[in-house]
Amino acid sequence: MSRTQRLFDLLQLLRCHKYPVAAATLAGELGVSVRTIYRDIATLQSQGAEIEGEAGLGYLLKPNFMLPPLMFSYEELEALLLGAEWVTRQDDLAMTQAAQHAIAKISAILPDTLKWRLEREMIRVGPGVEKPPLLVELAQIRQAIRQESIIEIEYVDQQENLTTRRVWPVLLGFFEACYMLVAWCENRQAFRHFRVDRIRTFHDTEQRYPRRQRDLLKTWQATQGVADKQTRY
């Protein structure tokens, strides 16, 4: 591996960590010595990388630091395009359009050699299980989560009982057979999982719930035994 590539990989690793990470950990992930990490950190800092920390305490890349344009490996491109293709098959029109645009942008800048290999289509997303129709838009739910808004829904449970709930939306899950909303339910004073296809009406109250979405997510993860890195939203 060239030194330039190693420096870039080090930036990528730092970007993946939300908290200070020890030089020994970085060295282990890159397969180099701790002394090399110290030298590379100093080099990146001298070139303008906003890396905080010091030996013995760990290092943290400021979240607003912009990395240079990426050059993906063939396997990375396959993974990105495969994931984007899966998204285009979901019922969220806004996400479908975003995935299509992402595929177009990636394809437009690929070198001819990589573009030819990807056009061979060695892997594809197969047909999935047909999901029940939705009466609410997934984009509305995503917007409520981003704005941390209290929403009111009419929900039909497994026993066909219709109830009205005030909930704090936390996470939207895309599963093979359905979409699932994780939310704190004011009625039950507990986290509940709502199948989106069973939501009959959806109203955004535009009232912000009293806790931050990130804090609620961590609490839910603890109740489910889910590690932070296993959840993306």
Location of structure tokens 């719930």: 209
3 state DSSP class of 2 = coil
Contact of 169 with 181, CB cutoff 8 Å: yes
* CA distance linking residue 41 with residue 218, whole number of Å: 31
Using CA atoms of 74, 79, 83, 84 in order, give the dihedral in degrees to the nearest 10: -20
Grade residue 162 by pLDDT with cuts at 50, 70 and 90.
Answer: very high
- Averaged over 187-209, what is the pLDDT? 96
pLDDT at 188: 94
Residue range 98-133, pLDDT digits in tens: 888 888 877 777 777 677 766 666 677 777 788 899
Residue 70 has pLDDT above 70, yes or no: no
* CA distance linking residue 14 with residue 5, whole number of Å: 14
Grade residue 155 by pLDDT with cuts at 50, 70 and 90.
Answer: very high
**Mean of per-residue pLDDT scores for the chain:** 86
Location of structure tokens 């959806």: 202
Grade residue 69 by pLDDT with cuts at 50, 70 and 90.
Answer: low
- Point out the least confidently predicted range of 78-87, 146-155, 216-225: 78-87
Tell me the domains of the chain and their CATH numbers.
Answer: 3-61 (1.10.10.10), 74-119 (no CATH), 138-230 (2.30.30.100)
Residue 134 has pLDDT above 90, yes or no: yes
Grade residue 231 by pLDDT with cuts at 50, 70 and 90.
Answer: very low
Percent of the chain with pLDDT over 90: 48
Residue range 29-53, pLDDT digits in tens: 899 999 999 999 999 888 888 899 8
Angle between helices 3-16 and 34-46 (to 10 degrees): 90
Grade residue 233 by pLDDT with cuts at 50, 70 and 90.
Answer: very low
pLDDT at 152: 98
Residue 96 has pLDDT above 70, yes or no: yes
Residue 156 has pLDDT above 90, yes or no: yes
What pTM was computed for the model? 0.65
Residue 178 has pLDDT above 60, yes or no: yes
